[in-house]
Chains A and B, each alone.
Chain A
C-alpha cells in the first residue's frame, strides 16, 4: 500500500533501569494511511507515549529504540536523503531509524509535530506565547524544511534589512521578524484564540487551560507538519472544552489533510475522531483495524473487556464488567513467554502459554489481533485451570508496584 505515510515495523523500545530492563514497546507494527486519524488507545503504562516518542525520536535515557523500522513516505524527503543515505531508502520510503540524528531531528516540526497533555510543558513561562510561536515559525522558515509550504515564497524578504530593523523595534521580540509574528497571530486566529493580536503578547500563565492547548496546537502547526502526534491532547480539559479542541483538530485535519496519530485512554475520543484504531496492552498492539472492527466486532478479550468497563452515558445498565487484575510488570526478567493478558483473560487456554503472533481477524482487511481466538474458538476443554496464575505467585504481592494483582472485580 503506497498511501501509507507512516509504517512502523517490529518496533521495540526499552528502558535500561537499575531495577532491570523495561520493555515499554515490544515488536510493535502499525500502518498509518496519509490523511488518516489513527487512534492508539490503552490503559496507563501500556506504552502509548513511548510509541509516540519513538516516532519523534524523543525517547529519553535510559531508554533506547532497540529494534525495528519507522518508514516515512514523502517523495521530496526521500529524494533529498537518497543520495547521502541510500541504505535508508526502500521502495520510495525512508527508514528514519537508519538516518543520522541530525537529519532525523530536522524533521521535527516540518514532518512530525507533537502536542502533549500538559500544554504548560511546551511553553517557556517567561516568554510571550506569540514570541514562542513566532520562533517556531522562524525555525521552520530557516530550515526550509518544507518546500511545499505556501508560505515559503515570503521567506526571502524575511531577512531584509527592513525586517531586521523592524524586529529591533520590539526589543523583547528580538529573534522574531514581523512576518513571523504576523504568521504567529494568524496561527493563533486559526486555532480560535479570540483577539489573537492582544493574546500574542500575553504569557502562558495568562491563558486558560483550553486556550493554552489551542496555542500549543498553533505552535505545532507552525511548520505545516505531515503528521501531528497528539498525546492525550484533551485529557486535562473539561468536557465542553474537550469538545471544542476535538472539533478544532478535526477541522484542521480536514483543511490541511495532515495525518494525525491520536493517543488517548478515552474510548469516546477515539470513536469521535479516528478512522483506524490500535489497542495497546503491555507494550504491544493487541488489536487493530477500522473503528468498526475494533468497536463493533472486537476479537481480543482485552478489547472486549475495555469496552465492557465503561459506564454508559445513555442508560443505567446493571453492573459494570471490569477486567480482573491489573496491568502486568513490563520488566523483561518478569515477563514470561506467554500471552501477556493470559493472567487476566477469562478465556485463557493452553495455547496461550505460547506468546501469540498477530493473526488476521474476521473484520475488514485491516483487522488483526494478537490472540488465538482470531483463529480458533474457545473451548472449556482447553481452558487453563482456575487459579493457574495465582498458584505460581501468591495473589498477594508477589511483584510490587505495577505487578500487583488487583483483587478482581467480582
Chain B
C-alpha cells in the first residue's frame, strides 16, 4: 500500500501523548511526607494512523506500548497531549459523540484466556456490544452474532457454549468477533497472538488480514514480536522507555534501520534458519532502565553501542562504552567498595604502601568492561583512586569533564523527514560550550 500520505488526513492523530502513573501518592504517603514518584509510562509520543493501514508499535516489555494503546482509546485518561479521531479530540468527547467513538474504535487484547467472561456464553459475549449500543432488534442481533462467528472461522451453533470449551486460537477468534460487532473503523490489537502457538498464530494473522481487506479496517498492532510486525504492518513505530525513537515504512525500518536501538532489536532476534548459528550479531548489554528515573538526554544512552564521544576525544567505541558504563555506576553509587578493600588488604597483608594500587587494580577488574589506552587509563585510575577515599563526586566530575557525551545532555528529537529517527547521529545538535556542566 504505497501511496503518498502527506496530503491525506489521518484517521488517528496522536500528539505529544503523555501518561504518567503516580506512585507514593496515597493519603498515607502524603502524611508520611513521601514524595510522589512519576512512572513515565508514555512520555510525549506523536504519530498518525491513516485509513486502511496497519501501524505497528514495537518495543520491549514495559516500554509503554499497551499504555499508549489504552490511553489512545480513552480506556485511561492521559496526563498530557491529545488524540484526534476523525478530526475530533477524543478527550473532549461527551455523550453521543463519545458513544460513537466507542463504537468506531475497538480493541482485541493479548490474553484470550482472561479477556472473556467465563460465565457468559459466546453468543452473549459477542452480542454484548450490540446490546449496550442498542443496535437492531433481538432477532437482528442473533443473526448478526451468528454471521460474525462464521466470519471469524467458528460455527454459528457455537453461540450457546462457554469460553472454556474453546482452544486459545478459538478464544482469540471470539475476541475478534466481539470487536467487529459494532462495525468499527479502527481496532487496537494488543499482542493479539502472543499467547498462541505459532501454527495457530498464523491462522489468526491471516484472519486479521482478510478482515482488514473486507471491512476496510485500520489497525494499530502492538507487539514485541518483530517477525509478526514485519509480516503485518505497513508502517512501524519503535518505542523505548516511553518514547518513539524511530517511525517509518515497514520496509525502511527493517531494511535500513536508523536508530541504534532498532538495529539492536533486529540483530537480537534469532532467525529460524540453519544459517543462524554463524550469523555474527552485535548484542547490547545491560537492562532497560526504570521509567521512574529515565536517563537524561537520550534514554538509550546507557546501552547504546554507538554513543557519541566528545568531538576532540580520541577513543574507540568499546573503550568509550566501558567508561560511560563506569560513569553511570559511579553516578548511581552502584559500586561496592568494601569487598575490594578487603581483597586489597588480604592480598597485601599490610595496608599501607601498595594498597591503593591494589585497590585501583582490584576495582578496575570488577567495574571496567574493556582495557583502555594509557591516556584513558590514567584518568580512570585517578577516578577510582577518588573512590578509594569515597570521594564520589570528585570521581564523577573528573570523568564528566573529559567524557561527557552530547547523548547525555540533549534528548534527541525525531528528525523531520519521511523516516524519522531520534538520535544525534542523524541530527547533530549544536551544543554551546557552557552547557557542559559539572554534576
Contacts and interface: CB of A to CB of B under 8 A. Distances in A.
Contacts of A308: 202
Interface stretch (B4-12, B270-278, B371-379, B399-407): B270-278
A208 B167 contact: no
B153 interface: yes
A263 B107 CA distance: 33
Interface in B311-334: 329, 334
A395 B283 CA distance: 47
B269 A239 contact: yes
B231 A272 contact: no
A401 interface: yes
A8 interface: no
A409 B206 contact: yes
A410 B202 CA distance: 10
Contacts of A194: 329, 367
A242 B268 contact: yes
A239 B265 contact: yes
B227 A238 contact: no
A314 B161 CA distance: 41
Interface string A150-170: 000000000000000000000
Interface residues of B, number: 66
A127 interface: no
Most buried by A among B254, B269, B303: B269
A169 to B, nearest CB: 13
A93 B250 CA distance: 55
Contacts of B268: 239-240, 242-243
22 contacts: A44-B168, A195-B366, A238-B224, A239-B268, A240-B60, A240-B268, A240-B284, A244-B285, A246-B270, A267-B272, A271-B274, A271-B276, A291-B274, A312-B230, A313-B254, A322-B199, A395-B155, A396-B155, A401-B167, A407-B152, A407-B155, A410-B153
B245 to A, nearest CB: 14
A311 B227 contact: yes
Contact of B272 (A244, A271, A401): A271
Most buried by B among A211, A272, A315, A327: A272
Contacts of B336: 195, 197-198
B61 interface: yes
B170 interface: yes
A195 B334 contact: yes
Contacts of A310: 198, 202, 227, 272
B394 to A, nearest CB: 21
A97 interface: no
B265 A240 contact: yes
A393 interface: no
A238 B61 contact: yes
Nearest to A409: B203
A319 interface: yes
Nearest to B209: A319
A322 B335 contact: no
Interface of chain B, main secondary structure: helix
B200 A326 contact: yes
Given A326-B169, A406-B200, 6 more contacts: A238-B60, A240-B303, A265-B198, A270-B272, A320-B202, A402-B167
Contacts of B339: 197-198
Given A309-B199, A409-B206, A271 B169 contact: no
Contacts of A383: none
A296 B274 contact: yes
A75 to B, nearest CB: 31
Given A316-B231, A406-B167, A322 B269 contact: no
A389 to B, nearest CB: 16
A171 interface: no
Contact of B230 (A316, A395, A407): A316
A323 interface: yes
Nearest to B152: A407
B164 interface: yes
Contacts of B61: 238
A210 B303 CA distance: 15
Contact of A323 (B199, B270, B273): B199
A238 B241 CA distance: 14
Interface in B221-266: 224, 226-228, 230-232, 250-251, 254, 264-266
A313 B269 contact: yes
Contacts of A395: 155
B138 interface: no
B213 to A, nearest CB: 12
A273 B271 CA distance: 11
A211 to B, nearest CB: 7
A246 B338 CA distance: 32
Interface in A17-57: 43-44
Contact of A326 (B167, B269, B274, B334): B167
A117 interface: no
Nearest to B303: A240
User: Considering the complex of A and B, which 10 residue pairs feature the smallest CB-CB distances, nearest first?
Assistant: A407-B153, A268-B270, A322-B202, A311-B231, A267-B272, A197-B339, A238-B60, A320-B202, A198-B336, A323-B199
A313 B161 CA distance: 38
Contacts of A244: 283, 285
A234 B61 CA distance: 14
B358 interface: no
Interface in B15-60: 60
B173 interface: yes
Nearest to B154: A407
Nearest to A246: B270
A7 interface: no
A306 interface: yes
A406 B269 CA distance: 29
A48 to B, nearest CB: 12
B139 to A, nearest CB: 23
Contacts of A240: 60, 264-265, 268, 283-284, 303
Given A305-B199, A408-B153, A271 B285 contact: no
Given A397-B161, A404-B165, A407-B170, A268 B271 contact: yes
Most buried by B among A43, A308, A311: A311
Interface in A77-94: none
Contacts of A295: 272-274
Interface string B156-170: 011001001111111
A176 interface: no
B281 interface: yes
A292 interface: yes
A400 interface: yes
A83 to B, nearest CB: 43
B201 interface: yes
Contact of A400 (B157, B165, B228, B264): B165
